[in-house]
Structure 1
Amino acid sequence: MMTVESTLSLLKAYHEAWERGDQEAGIAFFADELVVHMGGDGPLAGVYTGRDSFVRDWIGRVADYTDVWEVNGNDTLLVGDDGVLLLVHETWARGDRSVTTKRLGYYRVAGGKIVECYFSDMNQPEVDAFFGGLT
């Protein structure tokens, strides 16, 4: 059983991987049966079921579309037995355009893996517009 301490430790290691740009290490924290709920109305919004789907259809598309993808830390907002709510700081750039967001991320962890996430950007319309050309 995951404790609050072990969940926080796992999420710390997960975010450290993303902050150093090591997507492969970050992806290793996802359970095979991962479910991700992405907020917004843009081309990346929706529910992704399964790690492979999320990696291919969200992470892969974002990585291919952007020239820069930086994760610049996070703030722990709430911790409970059922999950952790973080405020994640991210920046994306493509050519001369960029967007920086504070993303609310709720993470549910089980069996030492991230099994479910909900994400919503504090400036969702701006993020949706930035990714508007994504197909």
Structure 2
Amino acid sequence: MTVHPHITVFQRAMSAFSAGDMKALAKVFAPGVVWHLTGRGPLSGVYEGRDATFGLFARVFELSGGTFASRLRDVLANDDHTVALLHGTASREGRHLDMDFAIVFHIDEGKVTEGWETWTDQAAFGEFWS
């Protein structure tokens, strides 16, 4: 079975993100990427453009003291959507995040153009970052 090309794009993005390599991540994120972080927590919102999106990612690493990590459970793709099922962990101010989440990506011409990130317990996720 052939791997859908969007899975390869996702794998490159995941590898770069996990390594904190924003230069490599920029190669797979479109300059006008729009990132949606669902919920009502302090990090929730819509981030427009690569700088704003990468600013969110930097804030996640900063607030967690570099402890944020995600583990891929599965990734599915077709020409319209790529869906990654993940498990995230982090520590912050004596609190621990240990939860599943999903990201739906739109990928065009080998670049992530939009992403929607949602966590299984939005209230607990927001509280962790508060």
Q: Given the two structures, how large is their TM-score scaled by the length of structure 2?
A: 0.87
Shift of 1:111: 1.7
Query: Equivalent of 2:58, from 52, 57, 60?
Result: 60
- The aligned length equals 126
Whichever residue aligns with residue 80 of structure 2, its letter is D
Q: Secondary structure at the match of 2:4?
A: helix
Q: Label 1:22 to 1:102 Cα distance change in 2 as closer, same or farther (>3 A).
A: same
Code of the aligned partner of 2:125: V
- Deviation track 1:33-81 (CA, whole Å, cap 9, x = no partner) reads 000111010011111110101112x1121121112111222312x4322
For 1:89, what is the secondary structure of its paired residue? strand
Name the residue aligned to 1:93: 91
1:73 is aligned to 72
SS in 2 for 1:55: helix
Root mean square deviation of aligned Cα = 1.7
Which 5+ residue runs of structure 1 have no aligned equivalent? Answer: none
1:120 counterpart residue number: 118
How far apart in 1 are the matches of 2:120 and 2:25? 23
Matches within 5 A, 1:23-42: 23-24=21-22, 25-42=24-41
Percent identity between matched residues is 26
